[in-house]
Amino acid sequence: MEKQYLITGGAGLVGTSVPFGLKPTRKEVDLTNYDQLIGYIRDHKITDIVHCAGKVGGVKSNKQFINDFLVDNLTINANIIKASREVNRATFLLSTCIFPEFAHYPLTEEQIHNGEPHPTNYGYAYAKRMLEVGARSLREQYKVNAKCIIPCNLYGANDNYDMENGHVLPSLIHRCYLSKINNQPFTIWGEGKALREFVFSEDLGRILQMIHVDEHSTPDMMIVSPGKEWSIREAVEIIISEMGFSGELVFDKTKPEGIMRKPTNNTLFTTYFPDFKFTDLKTGLKKTIEDFLTKYPNVRK
């Protein structure tokens, strides 16, 4: 049977980086409406689901709208899990931010349910954790090849550049841009000492193609990470260089930096994908900023 792929969240950061599959808009398929979702799957004879969609945001919005993040994501994920009973293969995208607040570092796949998530995002985290439970139950009861991928911090083209509710790199890019054109200081929360691992969205798109199109073998749950940490200050230095910003740089030590680091163990990934080469942060940010400047002011913000 010919394979047909459904990519949820096809207009978002990851979805636009996936180089295959059908990517219906929200108007075509409302993922909170099961009848619409299963109707689309049956009409298009979907054999594989790559689930990238979800209600996402930064620290502020996750905490401020914690029940919305829980309910909306639970609804979407429950519908995807139920609909996946009718396909052969499904890959669900999780996030390293759903690990327990007091997990042991480096993060490993088996720790995902070993404690409460960080109090600022427990609504989102618990809803996302249920995708792992859903994948496990699909394998057990319906024999669906359902698995989970846990990428570290993602960035790339078509991100959300909301400076209040977006993730760290797109928020920094947008703030740097406005600081430059308005000839104002570029202010960064905290001291810039927090460490993060970053994955370029195009890299994740290539990995998903290897899994679904090339049918590369993978474990049931796998962290995707280059295994390298960058400080926020280092990322800022790349951004101001690529932006050509020469104004005042201010690190506001009165503002929170979030968790100082959350390194991952990428042993499983390197075992299954030993020859994969990740895009380095400087190259990825250069491409991201070029895309941002080309599309501004029509980027998501």
Tokens of 139: 């394998």
Which strand (E) or helix (H) includes residue 122?
helix 122-137
Rounded CA gap, 158 and 221, in Å? 26
The pairing of beta strand 5-8 with beta strand 195-196:
unpaired
Highest mean pLDDT among 33-47, 164-178, 243-257: 33-47
> Tell me, what's the pLDDT at 59?
67
Judge whether 192 lies within some domain.
no
Query: For a pLDDT cut of 90, what percent of the chain falls above it?
Result: 86
> Tell me, what's the pLDDT at 254?
87
Judge whether 299 lies within some domain.
no
> Tell me, what's the pLDDT at 257?
75
> Tell me, what's the pLDDT at 255?
82
pLDDT of residue 240 exceeding 80:
yes
Judge whether 238 lies within some domain.
no
pLDDT, tens only, 47-77: 999 999 988 877 667 678 899 999 999 999 9
Rounded CA gap, 251 and 228, in Å? 23
pLDDT of residue 166 exceeding 80:
no
> Tell me, what's the pLDDT at 301?
80
Catalytic residues: 124
Helix (H, G, I), strand (E, B) or coil at 205: helix
**Mean pLDDT in residue range 226-238:** 96
Structural domains of the chain, count: 1
Judge whether 43 lies within some domain.
yes
> Tell me, what's the pLDDT at 161?
92
CATH number at residue 104: 3.40.50.720
**Mean pLDDT in residue range 161-167:** 80
Tokens of 258: 């979030």
Rounded CA gap, 283 and 241, in Å? 12
Judge whether 287 lies within some domain.
no
Judge whether 245 lies within some domain.
no
Judge whether 166 lies within some domain.
no
**Mean pLDDT in residue range 191-217:** 95
What is the extent of the structural domain holding 15? 5-156+197-227+263-278
Q: Tell me the pLDDT band of 258, cut-offs 50, 70 and 90.
A: confident
Give the mean pLDDT of the chain: 94
**Mean pLDDT in residue range 238-260:** 90
**Mean pLDDT in residue range 8-28:** 95
6 phi and psi angles, rounded to 5 deg = -110, 125
**Backbone dihedral region of 83: left (phi > 0), alpha (psi from -120 to 50 degrees) or beta?**
alpha
Q: Which of 3-12, 200-209, 247-256 has the lowest mean pLDDT?
A: 247-256
Judge whether 58 lies within some domain.
yes
Q: Which residues contact 163 (CB under 8 A, 6 or more apart)?
A: 171, 174, 175, 301
* pTM as predicted: 0.94
